[in-house]
Amino acid sequence: MTKPDTGFETDLDLSTDEFSADEKERILRWYLETHGTGSLDLVKFAPFLIEHEPGSFKRYRRHVAAIAQAPGGVGLPQAVVGLLFLHTYTAIANERGVLYEVIAAREWGATKREVMETLAFSFLEAAPRGINAAAELSDEYLREWVDDGRPTRIEWPAGWAADPKVFQSGIDSTTDDLTPAELEAIVDWHRRMHSSDGVNVRRLAELHPSAFKTHRIRYERAISGSLPAQMFPLYTLHLATVKRRPAAMRSSLQMAKQLGVDRHHAVQTLWWGLLYGGETMLEDVMEITGDLWDKWEPA
């Protein structure tokens, strides 16, 4: 049975660790077309590994293609993968990675508005350091990318839709003063979205109410409605996996489930993050999240 094309297949001969001239030309062209600006400067790891450790690179490409598989037709659109890595690369200040994922997301169907909302959301984690890294190589590219207002070409999964109100707690964004009613509203939001008892949220708010409230305003206003609501817990899940943050992984999965994300979409997001975790993360992941998967029925 022929597997559906996810956009990550490159037809490599897996019976040998060596690259034929045709394979080398084909895989480097794939990187040039999806991550390049006329050269391979942003993806030097690819020609480097082909030259010095070809077997490792072939096994990596095989693994990438496997992660992208969509059993029963349930799989993340290719552009979503680019946006996931764009969010994470901004947060970890990977300047080359930011640009090559901006290029990839555009190539795979994302609009400039979707890319910019991803960057706005990543700013919450990235702070100026991450945005400095984004600006270093991506500023000129983004200035030249004219937003023509055309709709997205991404085929979002069924049930995914933009809904900024999902992330709003009802606080008054015109003042820094946090009222008791607003705190209760935020605590209730965390209970609904993260299955949290709200104790830590309440304690943090009590330590510095205005800092807590303005942080919350930034979070709510970063989500403007260009992207489906389901993207945002996947952003935080991917980043939390890369950065090895157990509590954030759990809360992201709980929100994803609450927003109707299919289990396999969350599984794929986890595995895209595990490209940075390696063998040392595998047991930890299941210890942290195993019970959640058991209660999450696949489509």
Q: What's the whole-number mean pLDDT along residues 61-72?
A: 93
Together in a domain, 218 and 239: no
Each residue's pLDDT tens digit, 245-276: 999 999 999 999 999 999 999 999 999 999 99
Q: Is 150 exposed, middle or buried (0-12, 13-18, 19+ CB in 10 A)?
A: exposed
Each residue's pLDDT tens digit, 119-175: 999 999 999 999 999 999 999 999 999 987 888 899 999 999 999 999 999 999 999
For residue 214, being part of any structural domain is answered with: yes
Per-residue pLDDT band for 3 (boundaries 50, 70, 90) equals: low
Backbone torsions φ then ψ of 10, nearest 5 degrees = -130, 15
pLDDT beyond 50 at 295: yes
- Whether pTM exceeds 0.75: yes
For residue 149, being part of any structural domain is answered with: no
For residue 159, being part of any structural domain is answered with: no
Together in a domain, 129 and 4: no
pLDDT beyond 50 at 2: no
Report the 10 Å Cβ neighbour count for 159. Answer: 11
Cα 164 to Cα 228, 230, 253, 272, distances in angstroms: 9, 11, 19, 26
Together in a domain, 249 and 282: yes
Together in a domain, 212 and 261: no
Position 233 scores a pLDDT of 98
Q: What's the whole-number mean pLDDT along residues 11-31?
A: 93
For residue 156, being part of any structural domain is answered with: no
Together in a domain, 216 and 261: no
Together in a domain, 2 and 63: yes
Each residue's pLDDT tens digit, 278-293: 788 888 888 889 999 9
Give the rounded percent of residues in the chain with a pLDDT score beyond 70. 99
For residue 154, being part of any structural domain is answered with: no
What secondary structure does DSSP assign to the chain, as a single string?
-PPPP-S------TT-SSPPHHHHHHHHHHHHHHH-SSSSGGGTHHHHHHHH-HHHHHHHHHHHHHHT--GGG----HHHHHHHHHHHHHHTT-HHHHHHHHHHHHHTT--HHHHHHHHHHHHHHHHHHHHHHHHHHHHHHHHHS----PPP---PPTT----GGGG-----TT-S---HHHHHHHHHHHHHHH---SHHHHHHHHH-HHHHHHHHHHHHHH--SSS-TTHHHHHHHHHHHHTT-HHHHHHHHHHHHHTT--HHHHHHHHHHHHTTT-HHHHHHHHHHHHHHHHT----
Together in a domain, 65 and 1: yes
Together in a domain, 279 and 179: no
Q: What's the whole-number mean pLDDT along residues 89-97?
A: 97
For residue 251, being part of any structural domain is answered with: yes
Region of residue 196 (left: phi > 0; alpha: psi -120 to 50; beta: else): beta
Contact predicate 123/157, CB 8 Å: no
How far is it, in rounded angstroms, from Cα 268 to Cα 291? 17
Together in a domain, 137 and 247: yes
Give the rounded percent of residues in the chain with a pLDDT score beyond 90. 82
- 179 Cβ contact list (under 8 Å, min separation 6): 172
Position 196 scores a pLDDT of 82
Position 7 scores a pLDDT of 87
How many domains in the chain? Answer: 3
Domain extent, residue 189, equals 164-222
The residue behind tokens 């680019």 is: 82
Candidates 275, 262, 201; CA nearest to 233 is 262
Together in a domain, 15 and 51: yes
Each residue's pLDDT tens digit, 198-230: 789 999 999 999 999 999 999 999 999 999 999
Position 9 scores a pLDDT of 84
Q: What's the whole-number mean pLDDT along residues 1-6?
A: 60
pLDDT beyond 60 at 13: yes
